[in-house]
Amino acid sequence: MDQFMKSLTTRHSLIEEEISSEQTRPEPDRTRVLALKKMKLRLRDQIEYLRREGADMARVVVVRRKRWAEMPLKPAR
């Protein structure tokens, strides 16, 4: 879980840097800034949840689903 928490905090700080760099531009893209802020908020919520509930969890299991492009197609009958 430590590695997962570290990756979340790293992504959170990278997004924060990206927001500040976008806002320092002469004409910042408001849509982009808003989207980045939403992503940052979701990450913060995840981090806080894991800190709050993570003490009870032994580990976090991340499950990745196969994408449709990776799944073999069945022949039509």
Each residue of 28-77: pLDDT tens digit? 999 999 999 999 999 999 999 988 887 566 555 666 666 655 555 555 55
Overall number of domains in the chain: 1
Query: Is the entire prediction scored with pTM above 0.75?
Result: no
Structure confidence at residue 3 (pLDDT): 86
Q: What is the signed CA dihedral for 67, 70, 72, 73, rounded to 10 degrees?
A: 60
Is 70 inside any structural domain?
no
Is 67 inside any structural domain?
no
Is 59 inside any structural domain?
no
Is 6 inside any structural domain?
yes
Structure confidence at residue 53 (pLDDT): 81
Structure confidence at residue 4 (pLDDT): 86
Determine the Cα–Cα distance for residues 10 and 16; give it in Å rounded to an integer. 10
Is 62 inside any structural domain?
no
Is 60 inside any structural domain?
no
Is 13 inside any structural domain?
yes
Domain that holds residue 35: 2-53
Please give the residue that has the higher pLDDT: either 63 or 3: 3
Structure confidence at residue 8 (pLDDT): 92
